[in-house]
Amino acid sequence: MRPQGSFFFLETRTTNLLWLGLLGLVVIFFFMLVFEAVAIESRIGSQVDQQLEKYGFERAEVVVSGRDVALVGTVSSREASQRAVQIAKSVEGVRAVITQMEIDPLRHSHLRLRRDQIGGIEINGELASVQAIDDLKEYLSIFTANDGTVVFEVKHAAEVTESPWLAIVSEILSLTENIENLLIEVGAYRVVVGGSVSTSEQYMEAIKQIQDAAEKYELALINRLATIDRLN
């Protein structure tokens, strides 16, 4: 017959092992939940980032807590902020979206265009809509069809303001055929025009026409034109 003390010892040891096993299962389950939550946050953050970038909100910062998303950054209008929220909400698994985006009406679209001596054009910048980019690209391809190539590096940025840059760029290009090494910069209520012309008469005529165009679009003109004789 086994001594009673030995039986009590075995029973206690078995109970302790059971409790340790149960505790181990609880710990494993806890870490599984933690890892799953981290994986969900990572997936949601990545997908929200991708969707915002797809629709032009490249500067928006995404902060994820569980299934809740906070958007941080700067946009040009309340409408742009609401659009970013809608895009984030469309991602599967997102429970709520909080916007902490600041409204800055000075966040303007902008373009920088250079035309070389053989008619080739290089242009970069940001526009608020894909349609505006397509329209600009189509216009430049027609404009340079017989003269040179177009290097087009204009990006879609939904957080910037809509602006009539195609109209002002096309008008200035049509007025500046005699300007060599033409530079046009538009954005933030101003237009910069640079380059060189052969004579003072061409200089005065170009400045008057460009100034009239700038006033029509309510833009301040920054003149960086020069005549060849001044450069020499």
- Same structural domain for residues 116 and 99? no
- Same structural domain for residues 167 and 211? yes
How far is it, in rounded angstroms, from Cα 84 to Cα 89? 9
Q: What is the pLDDT of residues 123-164, one digit of tens each?
A: 998 888 888 889 998 888 888 766 678 899 998 887 777 778
Q: Which of 91, 107, 102, 104 is nearest to 43 (CA)?
A: 91
How far is it, in rounded angstroms, from Cα 113 to Cα 173? 10
Select from 103, 135, 150 the last residue of a domain. Answer: 103
Q: Which of 151, 109, 138, 107 is nearest to 126 (CA)?
A: 109
Q: What is the pLDDT of residues 75-118, one digit of tens each?
A: 777 788 888 899 999 998 898 998 888 877 656 788 899 988 88
How far is it, in rounded angstroms, from Cα 190 to Cα 4? 97
- Split into its structural domains, the chain has a count of 2
Provide the CA 232 distance to its chain's centre, in angstroms. 42
| pLDDT on residue 145 | 67
Single pTM value for the model: 0.60
- Same structural domain for residues 219 and 153? yes
What spatial distance separates the first Cα and last Cα of the chain, rounded to whole Å? 119
The alpha helices in the chain, defined as continuous H runs, are: 4-54, 78-89, 130-143, 165-175, 200-216, 228-231
